[in-house]
Structure 1
Amino acid sequence: MTELEGLIHYWESVLKEFSYLLGPATLVLIQSTIKYLKQLQDKER
């Protein structure tokens, strides 16, 4: 697992487990972070 894969996995698990506790702005920020990390991962390939 690369560092990027680890970060993606981490943020997806945070989103899955704690989304009900997070505010709307935080949810959008985490979703944007995941999207950005996936784009970086695609560029590396």
Structure 2
Amino acid sequence: MISILKARGSNKYKVPHMKKHRLERQNCLPRQLDVDPALIGEAIAQYQ
């Protein structure tokens, strides 16, 4: 979702690799990701 917001809704975005399998094995898989509030504000302004 963060990549889509940074690409301003375009479908030309690259999903960064989180190494989920390693994080899951270490029991460190995040339940939620931090998103820059400014990025959310830009996305809201763009779609209004």
What's the TM-score, normalizing by structure 2? 0.26
Larger Rg: 2
User: Which structure has the highest helix share of the two?
Assistant: 1
What's the TM-score, normalizing by structure 1? 0.26
